[in-house]
Structure 1
Amino acid sequence: MKQSQTAKYVLTAAAAFTLAACSMPGAGPSARLPTLDGQPPLVVAHRGASGYLPEETLEAYARAIELGADVIEMDLVSTKDGVLITRHDPNLAISTDVAKHPEFAQRKKTIQVDGETQTGWFSNDFTLAEIKRLGAISTDAERPQQFNGQYKVPTFQEVIDLAKAKSRETGRTIGIYPETKNPTYFRDLGMPMEDKLIALLEAAGWNSRGAPVFVQSFEPGSLKYMKSKGLKTRLVQLIDGDGIDMATGRMTYAVPVDRPYEWTKAGDRRNFDVMVTPAGLAEIKTYADAIGPWKRYIVSIKGTVGADGKPVDVNRDGKVNDADATSMAPTNLVAEAHKVGLLVHPFTFRNESRRLASDYKGDAANEYLAFYRLGVDGVFTDFTDTALAARKAWLKENGR
């Protein structure tokens, strides 16, 4: 299904990912939006069209582009023979059918990844040829399962080639948003990925400020290293958290998403929350162009706690989740980030009702609208079409 013309934006070479207002149907020449550059926010397809197809596959990326995504997002891990592939986790058990391959049974092991004990099969123990024998699977049981095992794990180079081909085919620039995933883990294995990432972007002709590329990481050291080695694309500091205390709405922290793992190794006990302070944002601005915070740093949620101190299953569906909570007043993070010149791209927006606060009435569009109205510069979404429809409605609100 093709997205309508409202999704046909061209990313200018002079300012990567600045959506030209004149390319929007009905856009007024003087209407300014609350984003940092006054332009419409980007719709970033998180791991591709991962709400519909197994994530981080060429098929998922192609579907997201077909739906109208401005940018496709991918996580990079390394194979045994040093090839960058698109997987969210080094542990292949999470997103592939490796457990169904008896020839690899002996490679199952239990190790530490960023301080977390994991059991499974790990990308660094497999050559690319071996990984190409695996099939990708959905990582969410509530999402379509009929495609499991049908699609292969792509290399980063294959995704670059896809983005370029689809840009030519559609006549609009499709951006990419790669992440160095678990960079300390791979560096400790003697398999650093940063230089390879830079080399691939250089070979693609995309190592420039105006390239349709954002490079992201949860580890500041990875971003700083790439910047020092001549990476010229926009850089994004990701900011994570573990969960929300339903009684207070405050962020909670636990391994492995309490802090950048390089901080843990160095004995730095600060959590990610220091990055969203004025001082933290100012520090990020010295090496990055944007932040990618978990959306709860911008709009948190608060639930009902019973006399036993436990969260209450308000909607009585047998589970306690976001649907049993309501949104809190937004923080000033977007404004504070904009004040120092940082773009804000929160993650991750999803359609499932269990992931929507009760005041959104089960309609994901209401959540997007809340964030668009706050001036975010882009959103990471598993459902490109929903994000675009909400953006269209929001632009109409603004006379665009």
Structure 2
Amino acid sequence: MRIKLPVWVLAGATLAAIAAVPSGAVAHRDEEPTVIAHRGASGYRPEHTIEAYRLAIASGADYIEPDLVSTKDGVLVARHENEISGTTDVSTKPEFASRKATKTIDGVSVTGWFTEDFTLAELKTLRAKERLPQVRPTNTVFDGRFEVPTFQEVIDLARTEGRKLGRTIGVYPETKHPTYFQNIGLPLEEPLVRVLKRNKLTGKKDPVIVQSFETANLRKLDKLIDVKLAQLLSSSGAPYDLVVAGDPRTYADLAKADGLKWISRYADGVGVEKNLVVPRDASGKLLAPTTLIRDAHRHGLIVHAWTFRAENQFLPADFRIGTDPNARGDVYAEYALFFRLGIDGVFSDHPDTAVAARLGFSR
């Protein structure tokens, strides 16, 4: 069916940008787009905390997304990175001052404190803080309140809150730096599979999608478990496992028709940076959409786009309101554009806005 845009969604949009979508780029979709809460409702609470996930569920999100890294004792916990000085109060803890280190992560030198140097019990003594305090100062009132959750605790929350609401809440974990963790003796795949099997989340119809920016670990997981898998694609760079293997392919190569065909051999979908679907020029204005969604659908892949955020600095210039980079722009117009193109789902820091846009769009 062809989905029409309701007038209210377009009220603040740059209509020309949406009207210019070429008909050949438009995909048909029979289901409403999925709303994935990016690190929880991270626009309103410090990311990757139980409260961020809880608020996302209450906002109507279909999936909550924990990024997974390993502790020293092999437990998967939810952090955006294994370096945690930006998301916890670890730097204020004198008992952990000696743990500060410099490491090479995916070819980049990083200094700070790393989850793999802490046991779970030690990490549980830390408290989360807002990662973007200048952008989201209201979130800082929650600094110091919430623990670092385990993957199991995220699954437990999804099930408990889902039962309360009478609907299924999915989990959408991302394995972070799998090659790095493999090389230090803390592989992510086997612990991930053990947790999913323990929770009877093992099949294509179960509410779980595993994602990664690397390819080798997804290909490995494809042989270990039958849950849905999603290959993440950035608008720059290359999967680190391919770099290590001497494979010259970049994310740009994988986003082409041949690359998507290859991905379809092991994955069920792709999670793509928005610019791969609708590029922007040097000034941040929208250019003509690509055929990525259409090409992916032709190979049986679902397409989820990241990351939708309400603040001006993250929006195309077409949809910004005023000049304050931290003020809210017209994120609804951006959703409308991507829904019009046939996107299957969106990762959002503000999942309530995605749910509202989807409701208006479907109507």
TM-score normalised by L of structure 2: 0.88
Q: What does the per-residue CA deviation read over 1:286-317, in whole Å, with 9 as the maximum and x for residues that have no partner?
A: 0000000111000111134xxxxxxxxxxxxx
Equivalent residue, structure 2, for 1:210: 205
Q: Is 1:67–2:59 an aligned residue pair?
A: yes
- Are the aligned partners of 2:304 and 2:346 in contact in 1 as well (CA < 8 Å)? yes
2:122 corresponds to 1:130: yes
Please give the alpha-carbon distance, in whole angstroms, between the structure 2 residues aligned to 1:193 and 1:170.
31
Identify unmatched segments of 5+ residues in structure 2: 1-25, 321-328
The answer as to whether partners of 2:215 and 2:242 remain within 8 angstroms in 1 is no
Contact 2:49/2:128, CA 8 A, preserved across alignment: yes
Indicate yes or no: 2:195 matched with 1:197: no
Partner of 1:240: 234
Paired letter, 1:282: K
Q: Which amino acid aligns with 2:261?
A: A
Alpha-carbon deviation of 1:37? 5.3
Aligned to 2:78: 86
Runs ≥4 residues deviating over 3 A:
34-37
Partner of 1:376: 343
Helix, strand or coil for the counterpart of 2:98? helix
Pairing of 1:301-320 with structure 2 (within 5 A): 301-304=280-283
Q: Aligned to 2:281, what secondary structure does the other structure show? A: strand
1:155 alignment counterpart: 150
Alpha-carbon distance in structure 2 between the residues aligned to 1:303 and 1:268: 30
Residue 314 of structure 1 is matched in structure 2 by none
Matches within 5 A, 1:328-339: 328-339=287-298
Once the 2 structures are TM-superposed, how far is the Cα of residue 394 of structure 1 from its aligned partner? 1.2
Amino acid in structure 1 at the alignment position of 2:145? Q
Q: Is the 8 A contact 2:219 2:266 kept in 1?
A: yes
DSSP 3-state at the match of 2:159? helix
- Residue 24 (structure 2) pairs with residue 57 (structure 1): no
C-alpha offsets along residues 317-368 of structure 1, whole Å, 9 cap, x if unaligned?
A: xxxxxxxx21111111011111111000011000011111121142111001
2-structure distance, mates of 1:75, 1:125: 18
Q: Deviations over 1:196-232 (max 9, x none)?
A: 1111111111101110011111111101111112x11
SS of 1:299's equivalent? coil
The share of aligned pairs that are identical, in percent, is: 47
Alignment partner, residue 392 of structure 1: 359
Equivalent position amino acid for 2:348 in 1 = T
Following TM superposition, by how much is the alpha carbon of 1:94 offset from its aligned partner in structure 2, in angstroms?
A: 2.2
Secondary structure of the residue aligned to 1:328 is coil
Question: Is 1:169 matched with 2:164?
Answer: yes
Aligned counterparts of 2:190 and 2:51: Cα–Cα separation in 1: 27
Kindly tell me: are residues 170 and 125 of structure 1, through their superposed partners in 2, closer, same or farther at Cα, counting changes over 3 Å? same
Query: Is contact 1:293-1:344 (8 Å) kept?
Result: yes
Structure 2 counterpart of 1:47, from 27, 30, 39 = 39
Give a deviation string over 1:77-132, Cα, whole Å, max 9, x none. Answer: 00000000001101011211111111100110111001111000000000000000
Is the Cα–Cα contact under 8 Å of residues 35 and 377 in structure 1 kept in the other structure?
no
Q: Is the 8 A contact 1:71 1:175 kept in 2?
A: yes
| Secondary structure of the structure 1 residue equivalent to 2:66 | strand
The CA distance in 2 between the partners of 1:86 and 1:394, in whole Å, is 32
CA distance in 1, matches of 2:359, 2:217: 36
Report the 3-state secondary structure (helix = DSSP H, G, I; strand = E; otherwise coil) of the residue aligned with 2:146. coil
Kept in 2, the 8 Å contact 1:36–1:377? The answer is no
Unaligned stretches of 5+ in structure 1? 1-33, 242-252, 305-324
TM-score by length of 1: 0.80
Alpha-carbon shift at residue 263 of structure 1 (Å): 1.3
Deviation at 1:269, TM superposition (A): 3.1
Q: Residue in 2 aligned with 1:289?
A: 268
Q: Which has the higher contact order (CA 8 A, sep 6+)?
A: 2
| SS in structure 2 at match of 1:303 | coil
Give 1:36 deviation, angstroms. Answer: 6.4
Q: Counterpart of 1:133 in structure 2: which amino acid?
A: T
User: Aligned partners of 2:60, 2:239: CA distance in 1, in Å?
Assistant: 33
Given residue 342 of structure 2, which amino acid in structure 1 is its aligned partner? G
Q: Which amino acid aligns with 2:246?
A: G
- Cα deviation for residue 153 of structure 1 reads 0.3
